[in-house]
Structure 1
Amino acid sequence: MAKLIYPINVSLDGYMEDDDGNLAWSISDEEIFTFWADFLCSIGTYLYGRRMYEAMVYWETEKPQIPSNFTSGDQPDTLSEFARIWQKAEKIVYSRTLQDVSSARTRIDDEFNPDAIRKLKESSSSDITIGGPHLAKQAISMGLVDELHILIHPIILGGGKRALPDNLNMPLELLSERRFASGVVHLHYRLML
């Protein structure tokens, strides 16, 4: 049975976007991209809300441009590998407003159905990720999320979009941790449902 995993970059104070909806504050160097590429190798399906899909569809391009905040210089192999991994996975976008998708292996569902997610977990041979705090909040609240992969970045934003739902009381088991040269810390938790 596949696991449903919520992977997220967050500020030290728990935000995934700043007040203006920007993600440019997060560190995107070769070490971080390599970590995410290695992590995504075991993922067969991505579940996205509309806004997260629109941010990630950038990786559908065959030769992505180096982001301006990529701090380790020109690393096209790392970026190309990340794009290749993203392109080969199935994607489900949950949206009532999005009419068309601009990536292969992608479909739109207008409603997040917990029974459909349970069936997907039972039938999948590869793990599944969920992206976007609103969608993740629904899945966590419904007891569908099995693990969290949180990359805490060394910045305090003071406001923005919270990465985890408020008013959630749930014990976690720490499975692993890692510190990156940039000061980013990865925490891998299992949700104790």
Structure 2
Amino acid sequence: MGALIYSMIVTADGYVADAHGAFDWGVASEELHEFVAESTRSVGTYLYGRRMYDTMVYWETAGLDEELPAGIADYARLWRSCDKIVFSTSLHEPRSARTTLRRSFDPDEIRELKLNLDHDLTIDGPMLAAQALRAGLVDEIGLFVTPVVVGGGKRFFPEGVRCELRLLEQRGFDNGTVYLRYRVAD
């Protein structure tokens, strides 16, 4: 049985993008990339909305024509080895291998995946994650809190989502980012 994990880089005030949709403050250090690569080895399937997929599809070719630091190259290889499911009504065809399109989010399909897969899944992007949170599907939440405040934008936890959390892990990084991993309480 796989766990469903919702994890993203966020500002200290809880945003994943600023009021203009920018994410330029979210650049990860090599140390952070190495940690993400190591901590996502249990993941075999990524669940994305269209915008998050458009951001993450970079990893499909990252490092193929250029030399990347070891931790970043490792993450790129891991990403390419995983299945991706993209939930979108506007994407006509995927731009990465091992990618399936779905036109709508079906909680029962995700519940079935969790039961039948022998690896973990991540759900990335606050709008898609909100649907999974409301359906009681998310098992863990990871926050990579960066030392920046943007004052508004797209929140990590969308309005109306409530869940109790139990701290499982915390770690600081050389760039001032702090990782907080929680179990969603039943």
TM-score band, normalised by the shorter chain?
over 0.9
Distance 2:100 2:145 in 1: 31
TM-score normalised by the chain length of structure 2: 0.95
Partners of 1:146 and 1:191 within 8 A in 2: yes
Distance 2:168 2:84 in 1: 27
Using the TM superposition, give the Cα deviation of residue 75 of structure 1 relative to its aligned residue in structure 2, in angstroms: 4.9
Partners of 2:130 and 2:161 within 8 A in 1: no
Q: What are the superposed Cα offsets for residues 34-53 of structure 1, whole Å, 9 maximum, x if unpaired?
A: 11111221100000000000
Residues 1-193 of structure 1 mapped to structure 2, 5 A cutoff: 1-63=1-63, 75-193=68-186
Using the TM superposition, give the Cα deviation of residue 179 of structure 1 relative to its aligned residue in structure 2, in angstroms: 1.0
Residues 170 and 30 of structure 1, relative CA distance in 2, 3 Å threshold: same
Q: What are the superposed Cα offsets for residues 113-136 of structure 1, whole Å, 9 maximum, x if unpaired?
A: 010001000001000000111000
Partners of 2:166 and 2:182 within 8 A in 1: yes
Using the TM superposition, give the Cα deviation of residue 33 of structure 1 relative to its aligned residue in structure 2, in angstroms: 0.5
Partners of 1:64 and 1:80 within 8 A in 2: no
Partners of 1:6 and 1:130 within 8 A in 2: yes
Q: What are the superposed Cα offsets for residues 86-140 of structure 1, whole Å, 9 maximum, x if unpaired?
A: 0000000000111011100001000100100010000010000001110001100
Q: Which secondary structure does the structure 2 equivalent of 1:87 belong to?
A: helix
Distance 1:141 1:64 in 2: 39
Aligned AA (1:84): R
Aligned residues: 186
CA RMSD, Structure 1 to Structure 2 (Å): 1.5
Distance 1:35 1:20 in 2: 29
Using the TM superposition, give the Cα deviation of residue 65 of structure 1 relative to its aligned residue in structure 2, in angstroms: 7.8
Residue 70 of structure 1 corresponds to: none
Deviates more, 1:75-84 or 1:1-10: 75-84
Residue 69 of structure 1 corresponds to: none
Q: What are the superposed Cα offsets for residues 130-188 of structure 1, whole Å, 9 maximum, x if unpaired?
A: 01110001100110000001110000010111111222332110011111121111101
List runs of 5+ in structure 1 lacking aligned partners.
67-73
Residues 38 and 138 of structure 1, relative CA distance in 2, 3 Å threshold: same
Partners of 1:30 and 1:75 within 8 A in 2: no
Distance 1:136 1:180 in 2: 25
TM-score normalised by the chain length of structure 1: 0.92
